[in-house]
Structure 1
Amino acid sequence: MTTYRALIAEDEPLLALTLVQTLQRLWPELQLGGVAEHGIAAVQEALAQRPDILFLDIKMPGKTGLEAAAELAEDWPESTPFPLVVFVTAYDDFAVEAFDQAAVDYILKPVSDARLLKTIERLKGRLGQNQQRAAELERIVSHLRTLLPAPSAASERLAVIRAAVGNQVRMIPVSEVLYFEAADKYVNVVTADSESLIRISLKELLPQLDPAEFWQIHRGTAVNIKRVHTAVRDDAGKLFLRLHGRSESLAVSRIYAHLFRQM
């Protein structure tokens, strides 16, 4: 008999314990790899354990379940089948409708035996189909494109970046920026001939940029699409962008690779 492993990500201890106990009762053969208490831990533990199934709470500190799934889709090794993902959510009409439309597996809090049994049967069926498991990464990537929230619009777009360089402030026209790259609590502003750090997160910066000009290509990178020279795939199928005026190539994650399909 094949043994399958699961990881639970849930920040509410009582709900996590309830889900663990219910799974142990309804699916005793399933091996549980513990509980991740927030979204960052969920990503770390999933990459370390490489489970067959992920139960991801939607609202967690650090990263939401959707953000954790998106990061895993970007970083998951090609040699390992991507886990089946089940989102766990409090009852919310909008969230449930979105999951239904995207055909994503989800269970509602509080978890009922009847609903979890249906999910278990669905999971067992999909786990037993090797061809379907092989396509799971593309499936979740496709769904995440539907479910991930769009960046909020800013009332005004940035025209100039003010970057501190020593005791001076450098004024960088946004039109000259080739790409923005997340660097811990900072963002690296890269032009053809310089790099400067500004103290803002990429998540905070993105709504201030023109989405027609700057495209997010990775959770940590937004590129000036007007400065892209070519999009090239390597032997493994991974997509990279080459820019005018720079020698490095920028990796495009699976989530955003569809933006560069031939039109």
Structure 2
Amino acid sequence: MTTALLADDEPHLLSYLEEQLAISWPELKIIGRAPNGIEALRLIDELAPEVVFLDIQMPGLNGLQLASRLGEGGSAPAVVFTTAHEQYALQAFDSEAFDYLLKPIRLERLQRTVARLKETLAERAPAPAANPEAAAQLAAMLRQLGVPVPGAPPASLPAAPAASPLQWIRAAQGQETRLIAVDEVIYFQSNDKYTSVFIADGEHLIRTPLRQLREQLDADRFWQIHRGVIVAARHVAGTRTDFRGRLLVRLKGRPEELVVSRNFADLFRQM
């Protein structure tokens, strides 16, 4: 089932769009509604919808600004802009919008968008996972017969060694640079153009994007729990669900709690 989030600062237009979608796409599950751009961005991070219908003129953060932030990591949803103004079309498609619907949205126009969305999302769907046990048995049989295994390195060439996980981080501290051991880090958090590094004695800033850090960290020791947060596993005290149904990570010896987005909730299923 495809999931969607709707964002519009005019409640009657939000309700109208929902009614039109119920006709055009009955199986669509609307998992969030936002009255402004800031709330929409929070819900997108938390709920990870596959499609977002965004009004352009909204308080706090307009639709174009919001859409520009969705490609900062992870898989971005398909964005369909809804607006009463034609002049934003070029900017919308520059931000890789899936479609641009003018208000009042006509049902037949929305139905064409829905048909294209279904086709595109079907193409994005991952292929069925291969059976690793069967693949290993086949590879062993091919080697016994002296047949090269497709995708395997030549037997005479050793596999390239894996890169060592990151051990040290250079962080700005006023006019100085501090060298921080990765073992000291409690969690990393995206912070506009920087990444905040939280350790026992405070917060420090680095210019390395979170997605680049993720590739350098030991995945067994550092868990990504949100598009903008990576936490050190040894500092996780547990989890809880708040009254809004959000999964929160509690930290050892610290008061703040970190929101876990749906994309990463499986990490804590057994906790």
TM-score (norm 1): 0.48
Bigger Rg over Cα: 2
TM-score (norm 2): 0.47
